[in-house]
């Protein structure tokens, strides 16, 4: 009988992850102790901090996680150990930051180092690998995302991480942070909605008229080759002209800088995946199903809405997923032309050589993009499973 903690052969992914964690622990700084937000700071390796109880617990759990990844076959066991290690990592960085922050200091900064981020990524990959091997249902994957988000939120709300520099940057900019978060999401989801309204009918038209398909897809592909900053710049001149000569347009917020050029550029970038996936999805519908429906007297519109689009929907939704993740990332660049969003913090931090401020914009951007991908992937798999 197969034991719960069955030992298995070493796998290449496990060896790579353990090697990366070992290098991060031995060679890369776990935390930087800085006198202020722009100072270089003193790097401290995890091995330098073994006198801290939280770091000692983290080290033991890292060893246990490495053993589980290399030798244990049971994915549930690996998931439990990796989750404990994830919690220990957050706790350790919080306790270490608190321990090294001078009493009553308002300028000292404790910044997570490259070692922390490598360990964070490695543990995240171990958790993801275990979840994949468990073969969760689509909605259980969303529940897992919610659970780990809640765990991270618990640490953030507990105050344990308040000594970290990124949390101090958040504390001084909390109102602006939520304002820019709303602007970021409005631009990403607003451009997605407009792109779907334009791209879905255009994709259907391209499917119905093959002669039109090549020219439309080539034109949209050409837009994709234009760098985002260049496209923003191209749009600034005509929109500025319109705002100057058409008062009604200016009243609606159409200007050479701001959200208008950012929104238009994001929509243009979003059209190709939606149009292409709509065409591919419709082409994937079995022609015999269409012929049978036509033989029953259904009109072209009825076939489209009742057969073609429902069957092609998973492929179309895959295009929407690509667009949403892409847009969440591109909105950061829109901050350079006054579009707002988390890019504000990224570019301010680069200008001030304050990497903690850069993280304040980069971390939530990555989180939103990753969460969107996981949720939409689960929805797509759920629809495909229902159809099957």
Pairing mode, if any, of strands 29-34 and 109-112?
Answer: antiparallel
Q: What is the SS3 assignment for 370?
A: helix
Q: How far is CA 121 from the centre of its chain?
A: 13
Is the CA virtual torsion 96, 101, 106, 108 positive or negative? Answer: negative
Residues 118, 229 share a domain? no
Residues 28, 113 share a domain? yes
Residue 159 lies in a domain: no
Across all residues in the chain, what is the average pLDDT? 86
The number of distinct structural domains making up the chain is: 2
- Name the burial class of residue 117, with classes exposed (0-12), middle (13-18) and buried (19+) by CB atoms within 10 angstroms of its CB: middle
- Name the burial class of residue 302, with classes exposed (0-12), middle (13-18) and buried (19+) by CB atoms within 10 angstroms of its CB: middle
Query: Domain containing 58: what range?
Result: 12-135
Residue 147 lies in a domain: no
- Phi then psi for 30, rounded to 5 degrees? -80, -35
Residue 34 lies in a domain: yes
The residue among 85, 106, 135 that closes a domain is: 135
Across 133-137, 218-222, 287-291, 309-313, least confident range: 287-291
Across 120-129, 240-249, 303-312, least confident range: 240-249
Residues 288, 379 share a domain? yes
- Phi then psi for 221, rounded to 5 degrees? -65, -35
- The closest of 264, 254, 279, 283 to 334, measured between CA atoms, is 264
Residues 186, 130 share a domain? no
Number of alpha carbons in the 13 Å side-chain half-sphere of residue 380 = 17
Residues 214, 92 share a domain? no
Both tokens of 121, joined, read: 């990524």
Residue 228, domain CATH = 1.10.3720.10
State mean pLDDT over 380-385. Answer: 81
Across 81-85, 133-137, 303-307, least confident range: 303-307
Residue 154 lies in a domain: no
How confident is the model over 53-77, as pLDDT tens digits? 999 999 999 999 999 998 888 899 9
**Per-residue confidence at 224, pLDDT binned at 50, 70, 90?**
confident
Residues 182, 128 share a domain? no
Residues 188, 120 share a domain? no
Residues 372, 270 share a domain? yes
State mean pLDDT over 246-266. Answer: 72
Rounded Cα distance, 268 and 264, in Å = 6
Residue 277 lies in a domain: yes
Residues 372, 299 share a domain? yes
Residue 281 lies in a domain: yes
Whether pLDDT at 272 is above 50: yes
State mean pLDDT over 154-176. Answer: 91
């Amino acid at each position: 009988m197969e034991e719960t903690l069955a030992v298995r052969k070493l796998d290449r992914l496990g060896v790579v992850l353990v090697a990366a964690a070992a290098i991060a622990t031995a060679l890369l700084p776990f935390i930087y102790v800085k006198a202020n937000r722009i100072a270089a700071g003193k790097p401290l390796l995890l091995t330098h901090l073994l006198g801290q109880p939280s770091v000692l617990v983290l080290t033991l759990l890292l060893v246990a996680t490495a053993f589980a990844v290399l030798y244990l076959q049971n994915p549930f066991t690996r998931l439990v150990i990796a989750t404990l290690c994830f919690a220990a990592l957050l706790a350790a960085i919080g306790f270490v930051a608190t321990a090294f922050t001078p009493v009553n200091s308002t300028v000292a900064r404790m910044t997570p180092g490259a070692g922390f981020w490598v360990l964070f990524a490695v543990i995240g990959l171990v958790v993801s690998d275990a979840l994949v091997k468990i073969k969760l249902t689509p909605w259980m994957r969303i529940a897992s995302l919610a659970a780990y988000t809640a765990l991270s939120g618990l640490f953030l709300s507990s105050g344990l991480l308040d000594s970290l520099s990124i949390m101090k940057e958040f504390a001084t900019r909390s109102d602006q942070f939520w304002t820019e978060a709303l602007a970021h999401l409005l631009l990403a989801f607003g451009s997605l909605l407009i792109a779907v309204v334009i791209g879905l009918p255009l994709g259907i038209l391209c499917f119905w008229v093959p002669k039109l398909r090549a020219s439309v897809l080539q034109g949209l592909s050409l837009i994709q080759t234009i760098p985002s900053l260049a496209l923003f710049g191209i749009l600034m001149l005509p929109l500025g002209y319109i705002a100057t000569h058409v008062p009604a347009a200016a009243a609606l917020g159409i200007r050479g800088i701001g959200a208008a050029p950012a929104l238009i550029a994001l929509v243009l970038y979003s059209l190709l995946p939606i149009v292409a996936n709509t065409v591919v999805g419709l082409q994937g519908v079995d022609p015999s199903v269409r012929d049978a429906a036509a033989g029953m007297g259904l009109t072209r519109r009825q076939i489209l809405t009742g057969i073609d689009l429902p069957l092609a929907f998973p492929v179309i939704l895959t295009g929407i997923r690509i667009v949403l993740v892409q847009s969440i990332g591109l909105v950061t660049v829109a901050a350079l032309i006054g579009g707002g969003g988390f890019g504000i913090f990224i570019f301010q931090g680069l200008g001030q050589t304050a990497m903690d401020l850069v993280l304040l914009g980069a971390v939530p951007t990555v989180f939103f993009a990753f969460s969107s991908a996981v949720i939409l992937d689960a929805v797509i798999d759920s629809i495909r499973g229902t159809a099957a």
